[in-house]
Amino acid sequence: MAPVSAMAVPLIVHGKTIGVMTLASIRPERRLAQRDVRLAEELAGRAAIAIDNARLYQAERDARGAAEQATERTTRLQALTAALSAAVTPTEVADAIINEGVAALGASAGSVALLTADRTALEVIKAIGYPLTVLNPRRRVPIDAPLPLADAVRTGTPVLLGSREAYTRYPGFTDLPAWRENRATVALPLIVEERAIGALGISFPGPREFSEHDRAFLKTLAQQCSQALERARLYEAEQESRSASEAAQRQLAFLAEASRILATSLDCETTLTAVTNLAVPRLADWCAIALITDEGSVQRLAVAHMDPAKVAWARDLYERYPYEPGAPTGLARVMRTGEPEFIPEITEAVVEAATSDPEVRDLALNTIGFSSMMIVPLVARGRRLGAITFAAAESKRRYEQADLAFAQDLAGRAALAVENARLYQEARQAIQLREEFLSIASHELKTPLTTVKSYTQLLARRLLKPELDRDRLHDYTNHLQQQLDRLETLVADLLDASRIQQGRLELRLEQVDLVALAQQVLTRFEQAAERTEAHRLVLEAPLPVAGLWDPIRLDQVLTNLISNALKYSPEGGEVTVAIRQVGAQTVIAVRDPGIGISPEEQARLFQPFVRGDTARGSVSGTGLGLYISRQIVEQHGGTISVDSELGRGTTFLVSLP
């Protein structure tokens, strides 16, 4: 229905028009007239004052609210500053930022994510208020992911999503509660020296228009977070550097102490036992050393633990579970390859791969409870000497690569000590052998010289007599010849030993019938009266055996072996020389029924100047014969070995290609 009359009156307050009041009548009988103007103006004046008062009240309320919000935010910033001053790690910084920032903004959730070292992803280090179903899949997101946090880091600018409509930039967000429930979300880049290091995310319980005050506060919050995170990073770097320096000093002190211990004695067992005791508990809960013997076997030399009872228990375990050279892992593999074995965490799978024995598995995992292990080879001058095992158990320590490098340094020093001790022992043995040889050689020289002198004097006296006894003279000259032959052999052995040590032993190869050569040597021995009276010499060689060899040198080998067999055989014993063809090899076996040789003596029998302990004082010789024989045989490309038991005789085997 259309009005029949109308009136518009301005709303004026303090001389300023703030609006218009319109009056209208739809009744024909009540038309507005001039007389109504005054009343309308009065009503408009009162309405203008009321509106102005309402506006002033709202402005005062808004100002008071803004002041209270500013005060609260200032208080929060002060609390945040105090919290950040006490925070020394990135996690503590993030915790303070999230707790104070979320409360100051009236937010419902927040998170701090940092860039990974390679700057390819963001990792959440602190978050509150998010459901785990939302948070867990996004604890680590690629930097190129279409998400607000990643976008803020990539662009270096804040991402403000005030309502559902703003989420259209991020299609992946439409399945999240923030979109469904029309919540506002903010993603702020954390920037240090113009370089993004991460992002701060804040979510609100509903939609939100971000005022200038909000934006300023968010900027301040992000700046404080960035600065605090950088301080925490620098603090951590300084702490790590200090810790590394202190650790390096401790390691240097440890190595200095180890070097001092290793230098105090040239006895391997003494020094290495001291090293294992030094390693426990500084480097390990258990430490053990095993060495490779001259025979190639493995000797478990030392084991250490804080509890002496456990050391005794470990030695019992060595007896129950002996070393297995063919084991695919552990000490055996390190001994074979010379490469360390590093197990930072000993799990059930690791133990199962190492052994199929359920008792051993239970021992490692439960009884002892190994948590980590390093087995480091002892290598000196390219020679594998053994290995050191470092194991963590009670301490639950986990070894790292730095620990392995340190263990290898210690092992290198220990290996040099072992090698030096070995060289020292060899030098002592060489000196002892030299002294013994000089004593033997002087005796071996003096005996024939004395005999030669005596028979020369006898011969001179006989020649002064008018009648010569030719048989007696012949006997004298035979004795003289025997002693001269003995001297010649001694001098030849000394010259050969010298040539061997200088690498000047030469072979003159020609076609040789080894059976005929052996027969010649045996005939020579049979013609010696003192041999044939007490022993029988037997040659077992039905067919000729020919090859390309040095006949003079093989004659020397046969002579040495047969001579030894005769020396160590009882009277009436039979010495057998057997020659046979075995495939492409010619094998010579010299057997005697003599006193035999102990395993200890067999290990060093072919070294220069070595004579069996059972022979000293009863059998003449320089201890060079077998040494020279081995060199001759090996220079032919062959091998020489011994098979003997005490009281059961001896067999020397020579194999020639």
Clarify whether residues 56 and 98 are in a common domain. no
Please tell me whether residues 50 and 148 are part of one structural domain: no
Does some domain include residue 253?
A: no
Is 242 part of a structural domain of the chain?
A: no
The sheet that has 140-142: what strands, in order across it?
A: 140-142, 121-128, 109-115, 195-203, 185-192, 159-161
Report the alpha-carbon distance of residue 407 to residue 258 in Å, rounded. Answer: 12
Last residue of a domain, one of 426, 448, 469: 426
400-436 pLDDT tens trace: 998 998 889 888 888 888 888 888 887 887 787 677 6
Domain boundary among 40, 68, 96: 68
- CB–CB of 657/581 below 8 Å? no
Does the pLDDT at position 560 exceed 50? yes
Q: What is the mean pLDDT of residues 160-172?
A: 81
Asked whether residue 511 falls in the same domain as residue 649, the answer is yes
Q: pLDDT digit string (tens) for 460-496?
A: 777 777 776 777 777 778 777 777 777 777 777 777 7
Residue 452 inside a domain? The answer is no
- The answer to whether residue 443 scores a pLDDT higher than 70 is no
Whether residue 617 has pLDDT greater than 50: no
Model confidence at 549: pLDDT above 90: yes
Which segment of 74-88, 143-157, 392-406 scores lowest on mean pLDDT? Answer: 74-88
User: Within a domain: residue 119?
Assistant: yes
pLDDT (0 to 100) of residue 602:
80
Residues 146 and 228 in one domain: yes
For residue 256, tell me if it sits in a domain.
no
Report pLDDT digits (tens) over 261-289: 777 777 778 888 888 888 888 888 999 99
Q: Residues 591, 541: one domain?
A: yes
Asked whether residue 507 falls in the same domain as residue 567, the answer is yes
Q: Report the chain's mean pLDDT, rounded to a whole number.
A: 82
Same-domain status, 419 and 284: yes
pLDDT in tens, 315-359: 877 777 788 888 888 888 999 999 999 999 888 887 777 776 777
Q: What confidence score (pLDDT) does residue 424 get?
A: 84
Q: Which of 231, 235, 182, 214 is nearest to 101 (CA)?
A: 214
**Beta carbons within 10 angstroms of residue 649's beta carbon:** 21
What would the pLDDT profile of 352-386 be if each residue is shown by its tens digit?
Answer: 777 767 777 777 777 777 889 999 999 988 889 89
Confidence of residue 294 (pLDDT cuts 50, 70, 90): confident
Same domain, 98 and 48: no
- Look up residue 386 and give its two tokens: 């053994």
Pairing of strands 574-582, 536-540: parallel
Strand duo 109-115 + 121-128: pairing: antiparallel
- Integer Cα distance of 436 and 615 in angstroms: 13
Residues 6+ apart with CB under 8 A from 23: 6, 7, 8, 9, 32, 36, 40
In a domain, 490, yes or no: no
In sequence order, the β-bridge partners of residue 511 are 548
What average pLDDT score do residues 528-536 get? Answer: 60
Percent of the chain surpassing pLDDT 90: 19
Q: Is the pLDDT of residue 447 over 70?
A: no
Same domain, 613 and 533: yes
Average pLDDT over residues 65-79: 63
Q: What pLDDT is attached to residue 82?
A: 64
**Dist. CA 587–CA 639, nearest whole Å:** 10
In this structure, what are the phi and psi dihedrals at residue 398, rounded to the nearest 5 degrees?
A: -115, 115
Segment 634-639 shows an average pLDDT of 91
521 within some domain: yes
* 446-473 b/e (C-beta count within 10 Å ≥ 16 → b): eebeebbeebeebeeeeeeeeeeeeeee
User: pLDDT at residue 57 above 90?
Assistant: no
How many folded domains does the chain comprise?
4
- Give the strand order in the sheet containing 574-582: 536-540, 574-582, 585-592, 650-656, 639-644
Q: Which residue has the tokens 């991460």?
A: 198
| Same domain for 275 and 220 | no
Q: What is the mean pLDDT of residues 514-540?
A: 78
Residues 64 and 91 in one domain: no
| Dihedral class, residue 30 (left if φ above 0, else alpha if ψ from -120 to 50, else beta) | beta
CA dist 190 and 229 (Å) reads 9
The 10s digit of each residue's pLDDT in 298-313 is 888 888 888 888 888 8
- CA–chain centroid gap for 206, Å, is 56
Domain coverage including residue 407: 265-426
Using pLDDT thresholds of 50, 70 and 90, give the confidence band for residue 178: low
Strand partners, 160: 186
State the first-to-last Cα distance of the chain, in angstroms, to the nearest integer.
135
Q: How does strand 536-540 pair with strand 510-513?
A: unpaired
297 — pLDDT class (breaks 50, 70, 90): confident
What's 645's domain CATH number?
A: 3.30.565.10
Residue partners of 532: CB distance under 8 A and separation at least 6: 525, 526
Clarify whether residues 401 and 289 are in a common domain. yes
**The domain spanning residue 354 has which CATH number?**
3.30.450.40
Confidence of residue 100 (pLDDT cuts 50, 70, 90): confident
Token duo for residue 227: 């600065």
Mean pLDDT of 240-252: 81
In-domain check, residue 260 = no
- In this prediction, residue 618 has a pLDDT band, given cuts at 50, 70 and 90, of very low
Q: Which is it for the CA torsion 138, 142, 146, 152, positive or negative? A: positive
Nearest by Cα to 153 from 121, 117, 198 = 198
Residue 236 near residue 125 (C-beta atoms within 8 A)? no
